[in-house]
Structure 1
Amino acid sequence: MLNEGGIDLGMQDTLRAIADPTRREILNLLKHSRLSAGEICNHFSVSDAAVSRHLSVLKDADLIRDEREGKFIYYELNASVLEEIILWISELKGEDDYDQTT
């Protein structure tokens, strides 16, 4: 489904999620490796509840995935959603020959 600007509603959620600097920093942390919620929280001076909310927004936008292992939840980046955003931006800029393999 598209909004009036021609943007897929899922993409709209993604753009809204990455608009926040804390969420972008979480994505930067996860680009290197998967991390537990506690490890992510250690990088920020906000409450664990605030980080949990940011993780929830990123998960709802399908930018990250989580996996429970025992009492820990590990998060990892879902790069395929980011590829869709890059493709859309490239098309918007008129770059029809965007190579998705890079």
Structure 2
Amino acid sequence: MGIQATLRALADPTRREILNLLKHGKKSAGEITQAFSITAAAISRHLSVLKEADLIRDQREGKYIFYELNTSVLEEIMIWFSELKGGKEDE
């Protein structure tokens, strides 16, 4: 989906907080939902947007789905920001 979908996903503070939760390791949808005061349906939509942007991955384990960060996409964004910023040699 590219950088546009990634930036759109990162624009929402709830989605950024979900990413912060996942930096400590994989979590189930229920564990993620417990960290917020919004509905499970709203969390599910946020998780879908993050997954569509390839910022997270999901894995079924029994009856639970666990989510974890996809750090490769985050690294690509960091590289892009770094290149956009430029360095002294670009001045």
Runs ≥4 residues deviating over 3 A: none
Give the letter aligned to residue 80 of structure 2: W
CA distance in 1, matches of 2:81, 2:56: 20
Measured against aligned partners, the alpha-carbon deviations of 1:74-102 in whole angstroms (never above 9, x if no partner) come to 00000000001000000001149xxxxxx
For residue 87 of structure 1, what is the aligned residue in structure 2? 79
The 5 Å alignment of 1:1-102 reads 10-95=2-87
TM normalised by structure 1 equals 0.84
TM normalised by structure 2 equals 0.93
CA distance in 1, matches of 2:72, 2:37: 29
Give the letter aligned to residue 91 of structure 1: E
Measured against aligned partners, the alpha-carbon deviations of 1:20-41 in whole angstroms (never above 9, x if no partner) come to 0000000000000100000000
Give the letter aligned to residue 39 of structure 1: E
Percent identity reads 73
Aligned pair count?
88
CA RMSD of superposed structures (Å): 1.2
Which blocks of at least 5 consecutive residues in structure 1 are unaligned? 1-8, 97-102
Displacement of 1:51 in angstroms is 0.2
Which blocks of at least 5 consecutive residues in structure 2 are unaligned? none
